[in-house]
Structure 1
Amino acid sequence: MTEGKIIKALSGFYYVQTNNEVLECRGRGLFRKKNITPLVGDLVVLERTEDQKGYITEIKPRKNKLDRPPIANIDQGLIVCSATMPDFSATLLDRFLVLVESKHITPIIVITKIDLLDDDELENIQHVKQMYEEIGYDVELVNASAGSDLSNLEKYFANKITTIIGQSGVGKSSLLNAIHPSLEIKTDEISVSLGRGKHTTRHVELIEIGGGLVADTPGFSLLDLDEIEAEELAMYFPEMNEIQHACRFRGCLHHKEPHCAVKQAVEDKTINQQRYNHYLHFLNEISLRKPRY
């Protein structure tokens, strides 16, 4: 038996990195019977065959997984937002942050296309950067066009599995091409009428960059909060989670309850009003969700 990590999944084949080689593998039929799908990032046990291929016989316990993109055991997520084309959306960024935090994945915020901003727009993005850094997030402002120096991003990759997250058209594939030009990942032009790009990444693959493994993943523009309960939501806003123990009532949702430490912090401007508004928006979305049985 050999152990390894799935680094690529394509058309029912799984490519497993062992200590010194990559083996093309199939999954055992028992996975299908149990409705289990091996994922990129999975640590697996495999049985070699005579033709130097193999069968996956066991999937080790996962510390986390994402369904879109399908990947497991992620250490961190580069949340890529564009400063323009499509316009920067703090609501969408906070939605991504909540999802990533809920999966116990360390988020890193990357805002692209800053070279396309005028002075006032750039100043606004600088304020955004400062606000998120004060919360405790790492934030990088980059120009992902060809020839840009993105060496400052490589420091995040060492000894980590990183997934790239963001809506279509924000420059995820361009970003990786700029970091690692030999990848030559296909990119498409932004649709002027829609303000977003086409999905150009067709499968999930872990690529060695900066001493770690990075997945370039399909962009998506909608995120649901189906796996998050109302009572959990504030945990995924670090500035709220830090002080919510000071609320008078256990189980405080930081909305209509009296003597709420979070609402007081918003009033005192130690919690950003816009972030709190996004929290209330997500809370309302969760409350309107149809019951699950």
Structure 2
Amino acid sequence: MPQGMIYKALSGYYYVETEEGQTVQCRARGIFKKRGQSPLVGDRVVFSETENGEGTVDELLPRTTELIRPPVANASLAVLVFSIIRPELNLQLLDKFLVHIEHTGLETLIVFTKLDAMEASEERERIEADVTAARALYSSIGYETALVSSKRGDGIPELQARLKDRVGVFAGQSGVGKSSLVNALVPGLTLETNEISEKLGRGKHTTRHVELVRLEGGGCVADTPGFSQLDFGELGIEEIGSCFKEFRELAGGCKFRGCTHVHEPDCAVKEALEQGAVAASRYEHYVSFMTEWRENRRRY
């Protein structure tokens, strides 16, 4: 039976690209629903063709990775897209995205967008200082960062090289410029974009479905719907501490096994915090996430 990859999911249809480069519009077999499974964009599948020229997804081949939000399979690089202006840089939300990505085990690239808008802003010095500090913080933890302008093309060649021969997934809140970034990466592509609401300070959801876009020179990227909330219960995350990279490396030095790094004595993470080796903002966000996680567990 033929095989292919799902490159788009829309309105109950899965668009499968065959090994010969053709597209077959497919429905999924009912067996997936009974099993509690759902095909995802990025899935390698076995399908069969039907008499009307469409097809049926019959089998999902083993996944290497799986993201729940955005729903993408077999990605190898998560590109977390955050704007430095309109909407303002939100490091708490960035840390929540990083928890999600660390939980799935994907490699991460943090991309700060709208460099051109920052340079035109009356608050340029403040924004530039905030961005410089953020890049220094996340680089010290071990994350790769980049600063780009989709309008001018700054940083785009480097991002194209980073994505070459890989399946990358763009994720971030609405209005940060994910679709503009994909348009800049693929000349001639015209994904819908929207201006930021000056009143609300955030963007509209211009991308309404997940779709893989082929890049010149190999590789592809998933442009995904933007969102501003992530729920730890929805993501199936059962342990927050190990999803903070620097905490994970320190945890072996804690007195108690399974230390939550909140109330326990002789905690290596809290000691590192007092010594300035762990950023106060990261620890504050961690405590906030722990509170949210516990409340969700009680609720469910």
Deviation at 1:70, TM superposition (A): 2.3
- Amino acid paired to 1:204: V
Does 1:190 find its partner at 2:196? Answer: yes
Does 1:142 find its partner at 2:136? Answer: no
Deviation at 1:2, TM superposition (A): 1.5
**Distance (Å, rounded) in 2 between the aligned partners of 1:31 and 1:276:** 41
What's the secondary structure of 2:163's corresponding residue?
A: coil
Q: Which runs of 5 or more structure 2 residues have no equivalent in the other structure?
A: 119-123
1:114 maps to: 115
1:285 to 269, 272, 292: 292
**Distance (Å, rounded) in 1 between the aligned partners of 2:52 and 2:290:** 54
Worse-superposed segment, 281-290 or 271-280? 281-290
* 8 Å Cα contact 1:41-1:71 kept in structure 2: yes
**Distance (Å, rounded) in 2 between the aligned partners of 1:83 and 1:174:** 15
**Distance (Å, rounded) in 1 between the aligned partners of 2:91 and 2:145:** 13
Deviation at 1:119, TM superposition (A): 2.6
**Distance (Å, rounded) in 1 between the aligned partners of 2:72 and 2:103:** 15
2:18 maps to: 18
Deviation at 1:146, TM superposition (A): 5.0
1:161 maps to: 167
* 8 Å Cα contact 1:77-1:164 kept in structure 2: yes
1:6 maps to: 6
**Distance (Å, rounded) in 1 between the aligned partners of 2:2 and 2:108:** 32
Residue 157 to residue 147, structure 1, CA distance change in 2 (3 Å): closer
1:221 maps to: 228
- Amino acid paired to 1:191: S
- Amino acid paired to 2:174: S
**Distance (Å, rounded) in 2 between the aligned partners of 1:292 and 1:2:** 45
**Distance (Å, rounded) in 1 between the aligned partners of 2:71 and 2:54:** 23
Worse-superposed segment, 260-269 or 113-122? 113-122
* 8 Å Cα contact 1:206-1:215 kept in structure 2: yes
Does 1:212 find its partner at 2:219? Answer: yes
* 8 Å Cα contact 2:80-2:97 kept in structure 1: yes
Deviation at 1:107, TM superposition (A): 1.6
* 8 Å Cα contact 2:147-2:155 kept in structure 1: no
Cα deviation 1:201-247 (Å, max 9, x = unaligned): 12211111152121101100111111222xx2111111110110111
Deviation at 1:16, TM superposition (A): 1.5
- The normalised TM-score by structure 1 is 0.93
- The normalised TM-score by structure 2 is 0.91
Worse-superposed segment, 176-185 or 10-19? 10-19
Worse-superposed segment, 6-15 or 145-154? 145-154
* 8 Å Cα contact 2:116-2:151 kept in structure 1: no
Cα deviation 1:158-182 (Å, max 9, x = unaligned): 2221111011111111111112131
The count of residues paired between Structure 1 and Structure 2 equals 291
2:121 maps to: none
Worse-superposed segment, 45-54 or 247-256? 45-54
* 8 Å Cα contact 1:148-1:178 kept in structure 2: no
Worse-superposed segment, 214-223 or 143-152? 143-152
* 8 Å Cα contact 1:146-1:178 kept in structure 2: no
What's the secondary structure of 1:139's corresponding residue?
A: strand
Worse-superposed segment, 45-54 or 281-290? 45-54
1:73 maps to: 74
* 8 Å Cα contact 1:9-1:204 kept in structure 2: yes
**Distance (Å, rounded) in 1 between the aligned partners of 2:66 and 2:196:** 30
1:256 maps to: 263
Which structure dedicates a bigger proportion of its chain to helix?
Answer: 2
**Distance (Å, rounded) in 2 between the aligned partners of 1:220 and 1:135:** 25
* 8 Å Cα contact 1:114-1:122 kept in structure 2: no
**Distance (Å, rounded) in 2 between the aligned partners of 1:178 and 1:277:** 36
2:249 maps to: 242
2:137 to 125, 131, 145: 131
Residue 33 to residue 289, structure 1, CA distance change in 2 (3 Å): closer
**Distance (Å, rounded) in 1 between the aligned partners of 2:36 and 2:243:** 30
Cα deviation 1:15-57 (Å, max 9, x = unaligned): 2122212322222232244343211111111123456543211
